[in-house]
Amino acid sequence: KRCREPKHERRPWRIWFLDTSKQAIGMLFIHFANVYLSDLTEEDPCSLYLINFLLDATLGMLLIYIGIRAVSSIVEWQQWDSLRFGEYG
């Protein structure tokens, strides 16, 4: 995906890795939660994965959006430059 970005807007490897590692950690968490829940409930793992994915893609994204907006407002209000989202120094 990094190679598809325009050359003048391409993120450095370190920043690209930090961004993609967050996504990988989230996918691993959902995978292991799905395996754990399927053992507890004896449900079909595929249907549980679909439910987990849909909840993550809807409610999870809404909660993340609200959280980022709230934290960004506090960071701007307190003028904490080192805590701005997307700024890796």
Handedness of CA 56, 57, 62, 68 (dihedral sign): positive
The tens digit of pLDDT for each residue in 2-12 reads: 788 888 888 88
The tens digit of pLDDT for each residue in 32-79 reads: 888 888 888 877 778 888 888 888 889 989 999 999 999 999 999 998
**Global confidence as pTM:** 0.55
Is the Cβ–Cβ distance between 56 and 30 less than 8 Å? yes
Give the tokens for residue 10: 């391409």
pLDDT score, position 67: 92
- Give 73's Cβ-side CA count (13 Å radius): 6
pLDDT score, position 80: 86
